Amino acid sequence: MTTRPLLLLDVDGPLNPFDAPPHRRPAGYETHRLKPDTWIAQHHGVPKRLVKPLRVWLNPAHGPALLKLPYELVWATTWEHDANDWIGWRIGLPRNQNLPVIEFDSQFVRRSDGTYVKTWTVVEYAAGRPFAWVDDQISDIDRDYVAQHHPGPALLHWVDPRKGLTDDDFTQLADWAARLDTEGPVR
Ligand SMILES: [Mg+2]
């Protein structure tokens, strides 16, 4: 039996197109105003009730579309475990079924060699297993790092944070997984 590749999911950018013009919510999205504890903690000393909620746009069609892809879904977001509590069911993933979470050392945005804070953790998590990674902060430096340190196939798929995941992104993810299948056994 073959193992499905991993699909590593960023939230802000791919699922929440935060960079779209503020008064033009992209089609298909719903507006949520959320106050997760991690957001409150960023407002040092401000009482919870006074913290302005975080505006998040989410598309309830994304969950079902992700579940149709031949991947195993994993959160790869600075929302970390909050993604299960606050995001997953709002995009239409099953409410009682938490996805695995990659935990990041989020102290640094980029390392001194220019790799994104998530990149080496992602490579470590995948441990040689094929993965696609959707994120709005992937650069060529990260692609090089993955090429050098990850022995299996990998797709680093940049998503425009003004648009979020589009039909075209879903098609590319499906095609990549299909090619893996035809190009030999997947570990
Ligand atoms: Mg992002």
Query: What is the domain-level CATH number for residue 86?
Result: 3.40.50
How many angstroms separate the alpha carbon of residue 34 from the centre of ligand 1? 17
Residue 152 lies inside a defined structural domain of this protein: yes
Is the confidence at residue 77, as pLDDT, over 50?
A: yes
Residue 82 is predicted with a pLDDT of 95
Angle formed by the axes of helices 119-126 and 140-149, nearest 10°: 30
183 CA to middle of ligand 1, Å? 30
Contact by Cβ (8 Å): 8, 132: yes
81 CA distance to ligand 1 middle (Å): 15
In a domain, 23, yes or no: no
Residue 85 in any domain: the answer is yes
The residue-averaged pLDDT of 97-103 equals 95
pLDDT at residue 139 is higher than 60: yes
* Chain centre distance of CA 10: 2
The average confidence (pLDDT) of the chain is: 92
Q: Which position has the token pair 């995941």?
A: 165
State in Å: Cα 185 to ligand 1 middle. Answer: 31
pLDDT at 114: 72
Mean pLDDT of 111-128: 86
Hey, what are 29's tokens?
């999205």
Q: Which of 161, 13, 24, 160 is nearest to 87 (CA)?
A: 13
Is the residue at 52 inside a domain?
no
Q: Report the number of distinct structural domains present in the chain.
A: 1
pLDDT band at 45 (very low <50, low <70, confident <90, very high): confident
- Helices then strands, each counted (H, E), the chain: 6, 6
Q: Is residue 151 part of a domain?
A: yes
pTM for the model stands at 0.91
Pairing of strands 30-34, 54-58: antiparallel
Residue 21 falls within a domain, yes or no? no
Distance 1 CA to ligand 1 centre (A): 33
Range of the domain at 135: 6-15+59-182
135 CA distance to ligand 1 middle (Å): 5
Asked if pLDDT for residue 1 goes beyond 50, the answer is no
